[in-house]
Structure 1
Amino acid sequence: MSPRRHIALVAHDNKKVELLQWAAFNRGTLARHQLYATGTTGTMLAYELGLPVTRFLSGPVGGDQQIGAKIAEGVIDVLVFFWDPLEPQPHDPDVRALLRLAAVWNIGVACNVTSADLMISSPLLSGFYQRVRPDFGDREWQPAEAG
């Protein structure tokens, strides 16, 4: 039996159609996994694919941070985030924080169609693959030194 991965799907406004087309093409594979998405992207995906999607707030009002929290909790395995590198985003700090958490917690990240195609077609997605989850247990809070 194939493992059920938890996949977050996020797209900036100029990339939503591209993500919807990619998701429709890969609907069969996505149907075997638990899907999460931010705001409008989640609504569009649920409607277009006819699949259940756990929806969070819109990215600019906290959805990016909600997905980031799920990454830190160990829930999300893969992040497919079609972000727009040519358009300034008013919530850019949230976007950077989300990508940072994905790197910190060592989850797979796809930022465009090519990387998403390679990730979703990998036999590791549906086969046995246990990502290495960092252990930050030795990083206890220390008071700042008086300067």
Structure 2
Amino acid sequence: MNIALIAHDNKKPALIEFVTAYKDILGQEQNQLFATGTTGLILTEATGLKIHRFQSGPLGGDQEIGALIAKNQMDIVIFFRDPLTAQPHEPDVTALVRLCDVYSIPLATNMGTAEILIHGLERGDLSWRKVVKETAGVKDE
């Protein structure tokens, strides 16, 4: 599964906690991890996981992940958003969330929902994504 990991600045510590707690699941060979710039760097430093890093969110990283969603190449998005702080790139955030809805990509914007998704991933509940990709002619890399 291709999994995007994103967090606004005030939520980065919570995402580090989450990824550390579920490192064994996220780090499985069949999972590829992607993140926006700073988030990917701090997650790699904290966990040692291999994470493909895009640009920082405000510099286009959200849009890079959105492009993979639009190509049906992202399976899960975990985006710990900060609803109490104005974000200068809010239109990009809104577009990313919209794309998840358009393409039926599971999206967690908080720890509670992320835990449900990660346990579903562990149980194989998200295997339907493979069928969607095969039907669309998308090959996992």
Q: Within the alignment, does 1:88 sit opposite 2:86 as a pair?
A: yes
Distance 1:128 1:56, change over 3 A: closer
- What are the residue-to-residue correspondences of 1:21-32 with 2, within 5 Å? 21-32=17-28
Q: Provide the alpha-carbon RMSD of the alignment.
A: 2.1
The total of aligned residue pairs comes to: 132
Distance 1:28 1:110, change over 3 A: same
Which one has the bigger helix percentage?
2
| Aligned counterpart, 1:49 | 47
Quote the offset at 1:14 in angstroms.
0.3
Counterpart AA for 1:27: K
Q: Name the SS of the counterpart of 1:68 in structure 2.
A: helix
Query: Which whole-Å deviations, capped at 9, do the CAs of 1:4-54 have from their partners, x for residues lacking one?
Result: x11000000000000000100000000011100001000011111111100
- What are the residue-to-residue correspondences of 1:100-119 with 2, within 5 Å? 100-119=98-117
Counterpart AA for 1:116: A
Matched-pair identity in %: 46
Quote the offset at 1:123 in angstroms.
5.5
Runs of 4+ aligned structure 1 residues displaced above 6 Å come to none
In the aligned structure 2, how far is the partner of 1:124 from the partner of 1:21?
A: 18
Name which one, 1 or 2, has greater alpha-carbon Rg: 1
Distance 1:125 1:107, change over 3 A: farther
Structure 2 segments unaligned to the other structure (5+ residues): 136-141
| Aligned counterpart, 1:17 | 13
Distance 1:123 1:80, change over 3 A: closer
